[in-house]
Amino acid sequence: MDSALSLKDILTLEKMAKTLRFLCADMVQEANSGHPGVAMGLADVAVVLSQHVRLNPKNPEWLGRDRLIFSGGHASALVYALLHLWGFDVSLEDLKAFRKLHSVTPGHPEFKHTPGVEVTTGPLGQGFANAVGLAMAGKLAQNMLGDAFKHKVYCLCGDGDLQEGISYESASLAGHLGLDDLIVLYDSNAITIEGDTNLAFSENVRLRFEAQGWAVLACDGHDFLDIDKTLNTAKSSDKPTLIIAHTTIGKGALELEGSAKTHGAPLGAEVIGRAKEALKWPSEAFYIPEEVKLHFSLQKGEALESLWAQGLSVEVQEQIAHLQAKDFSQVAYPTFELGQKCATRASNGAILNALSQAYLGFVGGSADLAPSNNTRLKAEGDFLKGQWGRNLHFGIREHAMGAICNGLANYGLFVPFCATFFVFSDYLAPALRLSALMQNQVYYIFTHDSIGVGEDGATHQPIEQLSHLRAIPNFEVYRPMDAHENVLCWQVALKRAKSAAFVLSRQDLEVASTASLEQVQRGGYVLYKSSKEPQISLLSSGSEVLPCLKAAHLLEAEGVGVQVVSVPCFDLLLQQELEYLNTLLVGRVLAVEASRGLEWFKFADEVFGMQSFGKSGRGADLFKHFGFTPENIANKAKALL
């Protein structure tokens, strides 16, 4: 909508807003659960935005579409009501099943679950950072494929999103990069669950975003003319734009209007009934006038996509096909010789570069640690304002980095990776969890994986992080014992095409594995077996496998039958059939890992792991101090016999 609104337009928008407002209130009432206030407060903004956003409900994955993110996922009633009215495959019956088991309208929006939902939102601030990732993806696409991918990324957020630290991180990066296709509509209703925001929030949001390089506009969130004018101004901005929409939570809910009581509970049938009567609206629940359906409908989306597709050259179509295929079958992987010493972070750097040469949609970077993480793509340029190369620089913003990569992945043309020290994976935990929940494809590179970090001390030595990541459903953690196993882990992970972490050593590790792809894709395999029937099995991962191998030789010299099992992916091992597991878990079982390792009790009679945090000192000295030596491992094994 690029021209001034007429009186007829305004009257139409008023009717659309009433429909949307009461549809959301009815959904929450029917479910007896949900958040009506924000949906009712944003209804006026949403109906004007409906006139601007470019979507095709018949093809929710149209690559040329605008992206629309609801960072405040608790406003899901508004999301689903809009999707239904716009013409997406979300029926009125689906709206009536809001928040019910097996419905396509769950309590918070879920990617790949509901047509038209771009990202899984719920934890506040994540959607904001996802939107930054989608805007970055748009710039990558423009750089590779041209202006056909010059579309907008709209994000609706609230006070809660802007109070979360992740919004600071991601907004800072967006402003620095000048992501001018990003428009954030801030629902500024000054209410959170506990009451007025002045209980804990009084900063000048305008000055904050201007300081971060954003254009900042403001509008009355209930004035259609003002909203429309502000959106048109934002669409022509040369910076990312924040629109502060001043709204009233629970707009139209009579005595509850403006109250925190409308935030997270149904309004009640009596209040809804009186509110409808006051606005001369039919009392019928889920009422949608036929003419309103027509005004909401995004039928023009098919024509927009058709026109967009006609403008793509054959060359661009071929490039799109390459990016969408996410095909890593032609990678020329590096090779490593037995006995060669190489840190798995170093071998990983060589692997990343090989992947980037085979697939042009492989993009990523580090939280200011690329030289240590070995993540630079050597043949590629930097992602900077106006350049948009494939080497991303997140700055020291781990939390935003993970969420941004989720946005990049959900764009549809890229496979992103990001990196930091393993101990700082804690900063990414919410994004890691959402990666798994969304079933997208993001690779998290975590180096400096154990007490082997050494002199930096306990603050930098991960202890509990492996157990945490292994506990995440639908998320795979690879901790290779050496460079050869690392190559195989990548081949397995890429074939499985889901989010995964690679946990890698700082210190050099001797190549001792001759494993096959078939062995590694089972998660664990017998690396070494003595001629005598094993009385004990040593299970381990990463840098602790080689000491176990040396311990096995010591045990064998004393006449003890032993086998060593390398477990590069604990998650995959859990999925193996009992018959195969019985070939690994022979005799007494000792698991050895320089981490907390409590999950190993699934398979082991005893776990030799870390019982404390680490210490400052040389990595080799720490392994000796904490007992991760062949001699001590052999003694612990004998104690089980």
Q: Mean pLDDT across the chain, nearest whole number?
A: 97
Concerning whether 398 is annotated as a catalytic residue, the answer is yes
- pLDDT above 50 for 356: yes
Strand intervals (E) in 448-549: 476-478, 500-503, 509-510, 525-529, 536-540
User: What are 164-217's pLDDT values in tens digits?
Assistant: 999 999 999 999 999 999 999 999 999 999 999 999 999 999 999 999 999 999
The confidence band for 5, taking pLDDT boundaries of 50, 70 and 90, is: confident
Confidence at residue 582, expressed as pLDDT on a 0 to 100 scale? 98
Confidence at residue 3, expressed as pLDDT on a 0 to 100 scale? 54
340-366: average pLDDT: 98
Catalytic residue among 164, 398, 485, 593: 398
The confidence band for 2, taking pLDDT boundaries of 50, 70 and 90, is: very low
User: Rounded CA gap, 423 and 441, in Å?
Assistant: 22
The confidence band for 524, taking pLDDT boundaries of 50, 70 and 90, is: very high
Residues belonging to the binding site for Mg(2+) are 159, 189, 191
Confidence at residue 4, expressed as pLDDT on a 0 to 100 scale? 77
Helices (H), 446-569: 465-470, 483-496, 517-520, 545-557
Confidence at residue 631, expressed as pLDDT on a 0 to 100 scale? 98
What secondary structure does DSSP assign to 569-605, as a single string?
-HHHHTTS-HHHHHHHS-SEEEEE-SS--GGGGGT-S
Q: What is the 3-state secondary structure (H, E, C) of 234-301?
A: HHCCCCCEEEEEECCCCCCCHHHCCCHHHCCCCCCHHHHHHHHHHCCCCCCCCCCCHHHHHHHCCCHH
Residues belonging to the binding site for thiamine diphosphate are 74, 122-124, 160, 189, 263, 424
Confidence at residue 567, expressed as pLDDT on a 0 to 100 scale? 98
User: What are 144-155's pLDDT values in tens digits?
Assistant: 999 999 999 999
Model-level pTM greater than 0.85?
yes
Confidence at residue 1, expressed as pLDDT on a 0 to 100 scale? 45
The confidence band for 299, taking pLDDT boundaries of 50, 70 and 90, is: confident
Residues belonging to the binding site for substrate are 35, 263, 345, 372, 448, 456, 460, 506
- pLDDT above 90 for 329: yes
User: What are 240-286's pLDDT values in tens digits?
Assistant: 999 999 999 999 999 999 999 999 999 999 999 999 999 999 999 99
User: What are 396-411's pLDDT values in tens digits?
Assistant: 999 999 999 999 999 9
431-452: average pLDDT: 98
Residues belonging to the binding site are 35, 74, 122-124, 159-160, 189, 191, 263, 345, 372, 424, 448, 456, 460, 506
- pLDDT above 70 for 539: yes
- Give the DSSP H or E segment for 18: helix 7-31
User: What are 509-522's pLDDT values in tens digits?
Assistant: 999 999 999 999 99
User: What are 84-93's pLDDT values in tens digits?
Assistant: 999 999 999 9
Domains of the chain: 7-305 (3.40.50.970), 325-511 (3.40.50.970), 523-640 (3.40.50.920)
User: What are 454-492's pLDDT values in tens digits?
Assistant: 999 999 999 999 999 999 999 999 999 999 999 999 999
